[in-house]
Amino acid sequence: MRQSTRERALAAVERARIAVRRDPKRLVSLEEAAAQSALSPIRLHQLFAHVQGETFGAFVRRIRLEYACGLMRAHTEWTCTRIAHEAGYSESSDFTRSFKRAFGLPPSRWDRSTPLNLGRQFDKNRQVAVAETGTLGPGCDTPAFLPTPTAREWKVRIERLEQRRVAVLMVRDATEPERLKRGFDSLEKWLVDRGQLRDERTMMGLSYDSNYETPAAEYRYELAYEVDAGTQASGDVVVRTLPATEAAIVSCRGGYEAFVSAWDYLGRVFMPPGEWVPGDGPAVERYYNDPRPRGMAYWDMDCIQPVRRASDIENR
């Protein structure tokens, strides 16, 4: 795909992803998403599958199901019928069928804590990798998220994060250290070429996907960096706005095991059930060190989870 064509494709896919994630309860149609980019539905279908690695329809269904799973984690007192309603399913039976098809068990049998992407029917490749090697693959010293939450305690602080404009580069198979290193190199060069690399700014990692529900094949990780207001997308880099949000933050230093534990503490110990539940926007890793000199094996970072108060929605 030629560069100018790829830039247009990335922009179209970015608009489609934003539209779906803006309201996961509503099934955005391919025709609606295509109209926003002045493309035919067939063309957007082709571009989306090429860039995202899954079809538009599969993406829409997955995002709504994972939204429902997030509600189940955050609101353990809600029935599956209410979860289905809150997530936009027309019938609770539709939700049950979708859940069982994806995870191999009905939602009523899930304990609302165990990572669903450890399930045999849901993610066979990940299950085999853990069973045979005890890891998720190259560069990973331990399985990502185990059936029981981390035993380590982490200090959590709540901060208000203001709106930011960021340049974003998708990194496929980010658990591979060499791929991740090349992503750092590519985004850094893009920033240098545009005079955007600043001492007061840091590299970030973003993911809108779930550590617990998204299968490895669909999990998408992005590198990001704050840029000036007028900065425009080009090449493989898109530019988007991260909304202002309250965030739960854990600071950690160490290797893979340390930040997996920090994220697990935020997701399965600190939040559900509690005063705070996951909010809108991506999970963010804010890096204070350059991991490349140490082979992408040591990190000094903040793990940042957007949150909102459970009381804001529990009585709707």
Looking at residue 125, its pLDDT comes to 46
Average pLDDT over residues 280-293: 95
CA dist 30 and 297 (Å) reads 41
What residue segments make up the domains of the chain, in order of their start?
3-112, 157-312
Give the pLDDT confidence of 86-105 residue by residue, as tens digits: 999 999 999 999 999 999 99
**Distance between start and end Cα atoms, the chain:** 48
- The amino acid at 83: I
Looking at residue 238, its pLDDT comes to 94
CA dist 33 and 31 (Å) reads 6
CA dist 112 and 86 (Å) reads 16
Give the pLDDT confidence of 34-64 residue by residue, as tens digits: 998 889 999 999 999 998 989 999 999 999 9
Looking at residue 144, its pLDDT comes to 65
Average pLDDT over residues 284-300: 95
pTM, entire model = 0.86
pLDDT surpassing 50 at residue 135:
no
Q: What is the DSSP secondary structure assignment for residue 254, as one 8-state letter?
A: E
The architecture in CATH of the region 157-312 reads Alpha-Beta Barrel (3.20)
Per the CB < 8 A criterion, the answer to whether 192 and 208 are in contact is: no
pLDDT surpassing 70 at residue 69:
yes
Q: Which CATH superfamily is domain 3-112 in?
A: Homeodomain-like (1.10.10.60)
Looking at residue 130, its pLDDT comes to 43
pLDDT surpassing 70 at residue 152:
yes
Looking at residue 312, its pLDDT comes to 73
